[in-house]
Every structure is written in C-alpha cells, then in structure tokens.
Chain A
Amino acid sequence: MSEKVLLARVGRRDSRSIESYLEDGGYEALRTVLTDGWTAEKLTDEVKKSGLRGRGGAGFPTGVKWTFVPKDTKGKPVYLLCNADESEPGTFKDRLLMEEDPHQVIEGVILSSYAIKCRNAYIYIRGEFYLGARILNRALEEAYAKGFLGQNILGSGFSLDVTVHRGAGAYICGEETGLIESLEGKRGQPRIKPPFPALVGVFGCPTIVNNVETLACVVHIVNRGAEWFAKIGRNEKNSGPKLYCLSGQVNRPGVYEAAMGLQMKELLFGTEYGQGMKGGRKVKAVIPGGASAAMLTAEEIEDCPLDFDGLAAKKSMLGSAAIIVMNEDTCIVEAAQNLSKFFAHESCGQCTPCREGTPWLHKVLTRIETGRGRLEDIDLLEKISNQMANGMTICVFADAAIAPVLSSVGKFREEFRYHVERKHCLVGRGASRPELVTA
C-alpha cells in the first residue's frame, strides 16, 4: 500500500479547516450513512467485516466491541469516548492526526457515535495537547456551523454533541476505565472489570472507548468499504492502514503510514521510512509497541511483521505501534531503569502489587545502574515482576510495567551482570567513565 489513507491530508495547505476537508471529500462518509439510510447495525457490521482492531494498544476488534452495548439500555444514554490521552512513551500518532487533520477524527467520532446510538460524545485529550485541544475545538465549531453536529444532523434525525475534555497529566487515564473515572471528575483510578464499560461505563451508562486512529479508520471503511480495508495488511486478522511511530536512534524518526504488517526492518531501514541507524550504528534492541511492550533483540527483528499477531508471536505486542530503536551504544540497564521510572511515576496507587512493586523495581534498577547493585538483584527483578501481574492487579498497568524489566533482564542478562560486577555501564555514557553515571 503506497497511497496514504490516514495521513493523506497531512501537509496539505490549510489541512485543519473544514473547507479543505470538504474539498477533499470530507464528511461524505457521514452523508452516506445518514442520508443513504444506513442503520447503526449496518455500520457496525461494516466495521466488523473490515477487521478493524483497536489502535490504542489492546487491538480488540472494534466492530465487536460496539456490539457489546446492550440493545435495550433501559433508558440510559450511550456514550462514545474518544481516547486521545496518548501517553504511551514512543507514541505520537494521535497528536499528529488531531493537530493536522482534526476533521477526519471528528467525522470518525460522529460515525461511531451513530453506530452505537450515542448522543453525547467526549474527546478525552491529554492536558499537554493544548494545541490539539484548540484545533479540535475550532474544528468542532466549524462542524456545528455546517450542521454536521448538533440537532438533527443532515436532516437524519440523528443528533450528537461532542465535547473536548482535557486531562491533566496522568498516563493511567489512557486506560479505558481510568479515562471514565477521570471524565466523571475523579482520580483516574481504573475500575474493576467486569462490569465492562459497554454495560456500565461513564455515569453508569453503556460506554464505548475508542482510540483516535481507530475512529479515523471508520471514515475510510465507510467511504471505501469493509472489503477494501480488510484486503490491506498482512492478513484478515491484521488489516487496514496503520500509523507507526518510529523514534530512537534512527536517521528519520516520525509517523509513518503503511499497510498493517510492515516489516520491522523495512520501517527502520527503508528509504521511505527510518532510513537506517544514525551514524551507521548497529541495532541492539527495539521496543515494538511502546514502553509497555517487551523489548526485542536485533536477531528477533529479522522477520518481524509489525502487526498484532506478528508481534504476539514474538512474545511482545504491537500496542500503540510505537517503535523505539536502541543502538549498540545504549546501556540496556539504563534504558530499563528509565522505563521503570516512568511506570513508578504513573502508577495510580490503588492496588498493592503495582503501588509497591513499581517503585521497588525502580529502586533496584537505580541501584544497579548507579553501581550499587548485587548479583541477587537480577533474580530479584524477575521475582518481583512475576508476582506483580497476571491477575494480581486491578488493571494491566502492572503487566505493562514488568514487560521492559522481564524482557531486558531476560535477553540482556549479561549486561546486568556486568553492571553489578563492574559497577558501571558496559556501553553508553557511563561505560568508560563510571563517574558520569547518574540515576
């Protein structure tokens, strides 16, 4: 797939305005659905057939998720929440979509709201995206003015209000129930599941939470058909165009669109993509799906399709499609320590294993990194990790937190050992000058 779908309009002059969006065929999908008499069920079916899987991290089939909303909600309104809380380290695709092509996102929100019979949708955008929020709000005003939002849209009888709701600095509010709690005006502490949000969500009502990119895909599924979408990508379980966030020590970090299942090496080295490693250095490790994904070694990325099942087969995950590349000069222990700092800061603190485990991991990694580690610490890191996840906690934040620890210790054990024994990094800044090593 060489043509751009999601990023087609990025870089176009005035891409944010509704005029340019309409010129490029924007809101046609909405017109099709509302004036051609698509039922909500038909729209849901199309999305199901397309094989669209959530682009926020979990990869759950979107159409199927929509069907979890009960047919009879017993008078309760249904809510669609657009998850624009993008906070997974290495991820920046939603930011791009919202800042450069907000109407694509909004049209996706409207279509998806129609599919689940929602009349009030919220775009929960992380607090740091001041610009994105301003742009979205302006775009919403334009959409209201043109009658794509509000009462009786395009005379269809379908009405929808969309509100941009800004977060205030909490990664855990990207977890769907954490987001729901935050939207309700509370601390963003994830809820016990079941009940699932489709049954009991925000304000106690059926709720669907979808990622920005997922919602943008819906526009194109309507415009070009489920079959078209399903044909793109490696196979029908991993379909559609995908945005990949490439960062780290490559020549050209950035957001790249490709058919689902792009080969890792292509993304890193391809001339259309990363264009290889900076300074010609070698790859040491790659995190394929954001900080919550297990690291892969240079060998493991040899035949590595970047899709849900491809990475699951490598015992990692596609997650938010944030590929972070570390070269041979990177101290893996330092990287793991940095990642553990992130998780220790972002744990909500509700449940015991995560609240106590994430700072503990960070403390042990810091000791090892700063030359105060012991050999037992390496095993200890694994032991702590193994008693933190797999049902021990309310949400899978703990499972995310242990992924970098277990994968780095598991695959680079010698480097940890070196650190403990020599009290400084094998490679990287601290290698030849141990006194430079800081926490």
Chain B
Amino acid sequence: MSDKTPMQPGAGGAPSGPAAGAPPPSPPSAPPPKDTYTVLFDGKPIEVPRNVNLIEAAKLAGIEIPHFCFHPRLSVVGQCRMCLVEIEGIPKIQAACTTPLKDGLSVKTTTEKVVQSRAANMEFLLINHPLDCPICDQAGECKLQDNSFGYGDQRSRYDEKKRQYAGFDRTPIGPHVIADMTRCIQCTRCIRFCQEIAGTGELTFLDRGGRTLVWTHDGKPLANDWSGCAADVCPVGALTTREFRFRSRVWYLEKAPSVCPGCNIGCNISIENRDSVVYRFLPRLNPAVNDYWLCDYGRFLSESLNLREIEKASARQGDAVQEVHVPAAIGRIAEAIRGSAPEAVFFLGSANLSNEENYLLRKIADHVGSPNRDVVVDTSRTRRMKSKTAWVEGDHASANYAGAKDMGLSPSPGGYGLENVLSGKAQPEVVFVADAAFSKIAGDPEKVAVLRRARFLAVAARTANALTSAADVVLPAASLAEKEGTFTNVQGRVQKFERAFLPKPPARPHWELLLLLAVAMGFGDRNWTPLDLRRRIQAEVEGYADVTEEELKGGILMKKGTFVSVGAI
C-alpha cells in the first residue's frame, strides 16, 4: 500500500484469521479461544488478538479502514477522523482507532454514513492541500492520494484561497528532513514519533485552529538520530528526506529486502533501487529488531552503495600497476600463497562481510593450513534502536562481527591475529585481506605500511583507500546491494539480505572472488552458491544448525541457538 514502510511480510490484505469467506466458527461445544475476541466486520465474525487496535483487527479480516493518524506503534489520538465507522448499538459514527475491542463488537464499514464521512473528511483535507502531486516526492506512496482515490469525491467545492505558510514551506526542518507545511494534514504522527519513540520531542504544534502547523523550537532542529523516520511516518509530503528529494518517482523503484550494514543491530531495510542505482534505504518491518524504524546513520549509507571506485582487478608489476583480468589476479594470489609456508600466510576477514564470505575465507585458510586468521573489532560507533518492546543496543560499528567470529575467524593454536601483525610481533609473508574496507585501519598509512612489509599483499575492495593503493593485487568487489548473504546481529539473529541487482562486471561479490580463490587453491566447487555455503555452515558451524532456508525465507528473522524465529509478521 502507500505506507512508507514496505515489505511487511505476510501482510498485503490477505486475512490470516478464519474469517473472510470461511465458514462460521465451530459449534458451541468447542471452547472459544481465550486470548482473542470475536469481532464482526460487516456481519462476518473473526477471531482477533485482544491487544490490537480495531484498525489492525480489520486488516486481519481483510478489511481496510482508511486512516492517517493511526500508527501501530504510536499513541492513539483519533484526530484525522478518517477511520470513522458505525458500531452496532451506538447511533453516532465512531473512530475505529479509539474504539476498544470487546467480544461481540460489531463494526460496519460500508454503510452510507461511513461512506459519506470518508468523502467528507477527504474533502476537508483537500481544501487547503496544495496541488503538488506533480512535484511532490510522496506521490505513489501517499496516503492522501490513496485515500482520496479510494474514498473521496473527485470534485472539490472549495473556492477560496488555500492556506499558506510562508517560511514554513519547502524549508529544511533538520539536517535530513525538508518540511512543507502547506501539505501537512496535522495528523501529529511526526510529533508523536519524536516524543514517544525517539524521546527527543523536537516537534510541536504551533498556533491553533485552521492555522495549526508543525514545527520545532527555533534553534533546535529535527536532528535526533532517527529523524528520517519522521519523514517515513508522515503520510503526506509534508516531511520528506533531503537526500531523496526529486531523485526518483517511487513507482519506478524496485525493493530488495536487505539488512543495514551500519552496525551490528542489523536493522531490516529495503534497498530501493532502479537500474543498478541505489536511491534510498527504507526500513523493513521487523518487530524484534528495528520494528518500523531506521536510524539516520544507516539510512543515509544508501548512497555509499553506489560508489564504485575499484571497478577492475589490478596487479603490480614492479613499480607499475596494471589492469588485469580477475582470473589472472586470482591466479597471482594463489601463486603467492602456494609459494609461502602456511604459517607465514595471514588471512584477514571483515565484520562487513557476510557469514558465507567469512566462512569461505576461513575454509581457505584451513585448506592452506594457515593458523593465522582474524577479524577486526570496531566499537567506535555504537547505536541503539527501538524494537517493538525494548531498546536494542548495538555494540559494533559493523554488521557482522559476531558472525565473523562464529565462522572461525580467530587465530588457531599457534597462529596470530592482526594485533600481532600490527605490533610487529608477527611478520607474515603473504597477507590476504578479504575486504579492504574492514575498518579505519585500512585508511591509516602507518598501519598499512606495517601490512605492506609482507612480501605479497592482496585485497578485495570496492572503495579505494591507503590499503588498496599499497596492495600488490586488488580484486574488484561488489556492494551489499549486489549480493545475497547473511549477517548475525547483536541479538544472535541470523538475517538474510537479498541481492537488489547484478554487479557490474568484472566486479563480483566477495563470496564469488573467494570462491575463485578457493578453487584456484584446490578446494571447493566452482558452482557453489551462497545457498551451498549456508548449507555447509548449517552442517559445520556450531549454533547454526537451525539456520535453514525456510527460516531465512523473505529475509525475516530466523533461529539461532536459543532464539526463536518470529516468522511472517
């Protein structure tokens, strides 16, 4: 639908209860379910959980009750008046969102009164609303458009001047959000988000009556860590993100379910893309991790996926650096490794890489017989995220430190890790860095110089840094958007991300580059896919036995160890 939180798995109008068209509930001899209510929608009964809003209950019955101000995670205010329905036994129409559920509640959503109230509300909302659709980013995911089309009258009887808000239209209200109060429908979702979820309370109503608008206190812009979510919850184009402004019409965007690479909370995202360009990240609903939200840091990492600084493989010949074909580059790496004693080879993985990739790297190290394998921890930037019931505290700046460790990227007995290399205690002859953007260390010339002491230094990379400049061989790697895989987050959840679009050859996903290297080293099968790698992980890695494809389906939560899968939401 039009909500800016797509990819609600399992949703999309299909009823999950025994209602809609199904035969009536079991005869009186069967005991009724204890934690549900029987609610009738237009005469048809359905069992609904007790703790949902009537609007959500209707959705379970396959009935759409149009609304603006209601949001499943924000307090109920009943202000927009769009959700008015008739309740049997009550003469006046009632707001569905403020009507408490009870057993036997009978709701009518198709009566004349209801139809007229919806048309009336749409007319009222549109009388002052600017005809901005042609220039408004929200078009295509706009509740006002959708509800007007679905429930409004096409004509307007308004013949007065539309309300203006000089100085509060098309103006930044924060570093990432642009506000246009002429479009605002005063639903207060943004105000409630800042108050109840972010806890920062930057937004407020000013003035009253028809002159009401939403704004901040002067000098305290909308600048909390999740300000992009205020634009998400805004049902119209009153709040939009600056980074996405005017970049694409939303109906051209394809949506790939993925996981944010910004930290190890692993918020579920949708990579919104078109023609191999990532336009934006949107949060993907996952009540146990990020719920409906996405922090600004992660959200605006989207643009970084479009960086393609290393597009071809290269190899050093003496002083000169030459472009080579990937197989040739792989061959050079394999040669260098074979030409060295196993104990003198160092394999460095990355917390940015997927479980499949880190697993494969470690398998190569095993095959070669090198005990020296490591992954770097970076706790410089930790973030927090509101799940449905609690705050999730991330503790790593990369998405998959836990997974990398689980895959075995620690020195085996007798082996050494990156710390020893950097301190000079260990001096590898061959260093293979699976991801040149593994941490800030790769941009530090002094530390890179230490790594450079090795006879042979090879990296896989997408973006250039001091390490890629120093390397003997650089393999072109693809971005997160161009591969599939799994990350293991701070809660121990293994989450799958899907590929949004194919990489631009000769760049390949890290796993594919590693696979080529493995095969060149005499291990593995050229035809392996990430699925094959996952099967092997399932079989071999402790705690990952439950990570089946079933569980990973749709990129939702899955099991690991004692954590229970939530399944479709």
State whether A348 touches B208 (Cβ < 8 A): yes
Within 8 A of A (CB), among B69-122: 76-82, 84, 92-95, 98, 116-117, 120-121
- The smallest C-beta distance from B267 to any residue of chain A, in angstroms, reads 33
Taking CB atoms, residues of chain B closer than 8 Å to A350 are 77, 79, 186
Nearest A residue (CB) for B124 = A356
State whether A394 touches B79 (Cβ < 8 A): yes
Contact of B210 among A356, A383, A390 (CB under 8 A): A356
Nearest A residue (CB) for B160 = A363
Q: 1/0 per residue B20-49: CB within 8 Å of A?
A: 000000000000000000000000000000
Asked if A364 is at the interface of the complex by the 8 Å CB criterion, the answer is yes
Q: A352-B81, A364-B160, A380-B157 are in contact. Are A392 and B117 (CB under 8 A)?
A: yes
Taking CB atoms, residues of chain A closer than 8 Å to B95 are 192
Q: A352-B185, A392-B93 are in contact. Are A383 and B209 (CB under 8 A)?
A: no
Within 8 A of B (CB), among A367-418: 367, 380, 383, 387-388, 390-394
Q: 1/0 per residue A331-366: CB within 8 Å of B?
A: 000000000000011111111110111111001100
Alpha-carbon distance A355/B120, docked complex (angstroms): 13
State whether A352 touches B209 (Cβ < 8 A): no
Alpha-carbon distance A355/B94, docked complex (angstroms): 18
Nearest A residue (CB) for B86 = A391
Asked if B420 is at the interface of the complex by the 8 Å CB criterion, the answer is no
Asked if A187 is at the interface of the complex by the 8 Å CB criterion, the answer is yes
State whether A170 touches B127 (Cβ < 8 A): no
Asked if B391 is at the interface of the complex by the 8 Å CB criterion, the answer is no
Q: 1/0 per residue B172-189: CB within 8 Å of A?
A: 000000000000011000
- Chain B contributes a number of interface residues (CB within 8 A of A) equal to 35
Asked if B211 is at the interface of the complex by the 8 Å CB criterion, the answer is yes
State whether A192 touches B210 (Cβ < 8 A): no
Asked if B465 is at the interface of the complex by the 8 Å CB criterion, the answer is no
Contact of A192 among B98, B117, B128, B209 (CB under 8 A): B98
Alpha-carbon distance A380/B157, docked complex (angstroms): 8
Q: 1/0 per residue A188-218: CB within 8 Å of B?
A: 0000100000000000000000000000000
- The smallest C-beta distance from B565 to any residue of chain A, in angstroms, reads 37
State whether A345 touches B80 (Cβ < 8 A): no
State whether A356 touches B128 (Cβ < 8 A): yes
Alpha-carbon distance A357/B126, docked complex (angstroms): 11
Taking CB atoms, residues of chain B closer than 8 Å to A364 are 160
Contact of B84 among A347, A348, A359, A392 (CB under 8 A): A392
Contact of A392 among B77, B81, B212 (CB under 8 A): B81
Within 8 A of A (CB), among B116-138: 116-117, 120-121, 123-125, 127-128
State whether B120 touches A353 (Cβ < 8 A): yes
Asked if B205 is at the interface of the complex by the 8 Å CB criterion, the answer is yes
State whether A187 touches B205 (Cβ < 8 A): yes
State whether A358 touches B209 (Cβ < 8 A): yes
Alpha-carbon distance A32/B160, docked complex (angstroms): 62
Q: 1/0 per residue B525-569: CB within 8 Å of A?
A: 000000000000000000000000000000000000000000000
State whether A356 touches B127 (Cβ < 8 A): yes
Taking CB atoms, residues of chain A closer than 8 Å to B163 are 359
State whether A355 touches B210 (Cβ < 8 A): yes
Q: A353-B124, A356-B128, A392-B84 are in contact. Are A348 and B160 (CB under 8 A)?
A: no
Q: A391-B92, A392-B81, A392-B93 are in contact. Are A357 and B209 (CB under 8 A)?
A: no
Asked if B158 is at the interface of the complex by the 8 Å CB criterion, the answer is yes
State whether B210 touches A391 (Cβ < 8 A): no
Nearest B residue (CB) for A349 = B212
Nearest A residue (CB) for B208 = A349
Taking CB atoms, residues of chain A closer than 8 Å to B209 are 344-349, 355, 358-359
- The smallest C-beta distance from B207 to any residue of chain A, in angstroms, reads 8
Taking CB atoms, residues of chain A closer than 8 Å to B207 are 349
Alpha-carbon distance A88/B216, docked complex (angstroms): 32
Q: 1/0 per residue A117-154: CB within 8 Å of B?
A: 00000000000000000000000000000000000000
State whether B208 touches A392 (Cβ < 8 A): no
Alpha-carbon distance A351/B457, docked complex (angstroms): 66
Contact of A391 among B82, B93, B128, B158 (CB under 8 A): B93
Taking CB atoms, residues of chain A closer than 8 Å to B125 are 352, 356
Taking CB atoms, residues of chain B closer than 8 Å to A352 are 79-82, 121, 124-125, 185-186
Alpha-carbon distance A352/B128, docked complex (angstroms): 11
- The smallest C-beta distance from A150 to any residue of chain B, in angstroms, reads 37
Contact of A353 among B121, B157, B185 (CB under 8 A): B121
- The smallest C-beta distance from B455 to any residue of chain A, in angstroms, reads 71
State whether B211 touches A349 (Cβ < 8 A): yes
Alpha-carbon distance A325/B555, docked complex (angstroms): 71
Nearest A residue (CB) for B92 = A391
State whether A347 touches B210 (Cβ < 8 A): yes
Taking CB atoms, residues of chain A closer than 8 Å to B116 are 387
State whether B78 touches A192 (Cβ < 8 A): yes
Taking CB atoms, residues of chain B closer than 8 Å to A358 are 209-210
State whether B92 touches A390 (Cβ < 8 A): yes
Taking CB atoms, residues of chain B closer than 8 Å to A394 are 78-79, 81
Taking CB atoms, residues of chain A closer than 8 Å to B79 are 350-352, 394
Closest CB pairs A-B (n = 3): A391-B92, A387-B120, A349-B212
The chain B residues found within 8 Å of chain A, CB to CB, are: 76-82, 84, 92-95, 98, 116-117, 120-121, 123-125, 127-128, 157-158, 160, 163, 185-186, 205, 207-212
Q: 4 extra interchain contacts, Cβ-Cβ under 8 A, other than A355-B212, A391-B93?
A: A344-B210, A383-B157, A392-B93, A394-B78
- 25 examples of A-B residue contacts, CB within 8 angstroms: A187-B208, A347-B209, A347-B210, A348-B209, A349-B186, A350-B77, A350-B79, A350-B186, A351-B78, A352-B79, A352-B185, A355-B124, A355-B209, A355-B210, A356-B210, A358-B209, A360-B158, A360-B160, A363-B160, A380-B157, A387-B124, A388-B120, A391-B94, A392-B81, A392-B120
